[in-house]
Amino acid sequence: MPTPVIIDCDPGHDDVFAIWLAAANPEIDLRAITSVAGNGRIEHTTLNARIACTVAGIHGVPIARGAAEPLAQELEPAEWIHGANALGGPELPEPTVPLDERDAVQLIRDVLTESDRPVVVIATGPLTNIAHVVQRHPEVLAKIDRVVWMGGSTGRGNVSAYAEFNAWTDPESIQVVLDSGVAFTMVGLNISHQALITPQVRARVRAAGNRTGSFGYELLEFFCSTYNTFEGMPDGPLHDPITVAMVIDPAVATTVETRMDVELKGTETRGATCVDLLNITKRPKNATVALDLDVERFWSLIEAAVRALD
């Protein structure tokens, strides 16, 4: 039976592929898509979620607009990677997929309330919306099977020496979600930097021969160009779809149960995720952390999804 899923995202090039993978794979029952500010401002990320569905022919999945700002600081969108509209590269079509009248928190609450089974919440941006759900609707938390979040790192950062972008954008939201007691999986830079978008990968996407493949190829070309400019990586990492792939096929990644905390106050370390892989702190384990990726298994899932769409 397919796993019921909500995707909370900030599209973003890699978020688009996460949406496509979730919509196309028969192991996922995609119940809702919600937007959050992160890679771009909320007007862009909301529009881009609708465009991702329009391009791929995804209909019948409600899309709702979410938080425009992090809990405790001003938003600084990742324009240097994703462009001014958060989806730089291809010409963006006018979306034909409508926006739901509810906001993200209400849609998430409704989907959880109405589901006859626990729902996996896949979050590929800052955790702002999920923190708002925790704060405003604690009565529905029992309906969340787990939160699978792309963010953080067991080591290096990508927006500061220690902090990954999604964590750095809204670290307070991470704390709220961790404190809620909901089962939590972190998919950080340490594993996503194993999903490199090589020329061969781009060719596989383009070879799908459909609108999704052509649009996806343009997204990946732009994404790799900005990663090359700003991080010296000509083959950029496709972070976000790993979260979806792990729900579809847990064997796509190895994981460990461990202690995870987030730094809220450090001058140089704010937003750093502190993952205690050696159990040095002896604190209770509160997270599942992804470690190693089966790279070919992952790209095969991506390729199959792109081919299955319009």
Residue holding tokens 């990586």?
Answer: 233
Question: Which residues belong to the active site?
Answer: 239
Per-position b or e across 72-88, b if 16+ CB within 10 A of its CB: eeebebbbebbbebbbb
Cross-strand partners of 127 = none
- End-to-end C-alpha distance for the chain, whole angstroms: 24
Per-residue DSSP letter, 91: P
pLDDT of residue 36: 98
Q: What would be the CATH architecture of the domain defined by 3-308? A: Alpha-Beta Complex (3.90)
Q: Give this prediction's pTM.
A: 0.97
Residue 34's pLDDT is what?
98
CB 36 within 8 A of CB 49: no
Predicted pLDDT of residue 301: 98
Whether 223 contacts 81, CB under 8 Å:
yes
Determine which helix (DSSP H) or strand (DSSP E) holds 28, and give its type and residue range: strand 28-35
**What are the boundaries of each domain within the chain?**
3-308
* Residues sharing a CB contact under 8 Å with residue 102, sequence separation 6 or more, in sequence order: 62, 64, 110
Q: Compute the distance between CA of residue 240 and CA of residue 79 in angstroms, rounded to an integer.
A: 17
pLDDT value for 110: 98
Q: Along the 310 residues of the chain, how does pLDDT read in single tens digits? A: 999 999 999 999 999 999 999 999 999 999 999 999 999 999 999 999 999 999 999 999 999 999 999 999 999 999 999 999 999 999 999 999 999 999 999 999 999 999 999 999 999 999 999 999 999 999 999 999 999 999 999 998 999 999 999 999 999 999 999 999 999 999 999 999 999 999 999 999 999 999 999 999 999 999 999 999 999 999 999 999 999 999 999 999 999 999 999 999 999 999 999 999 999 999 999 999 999 999 999 999 999 999 999 9
Is residue 88 within 8 A of residue 226, CB to CB? The reply is yes
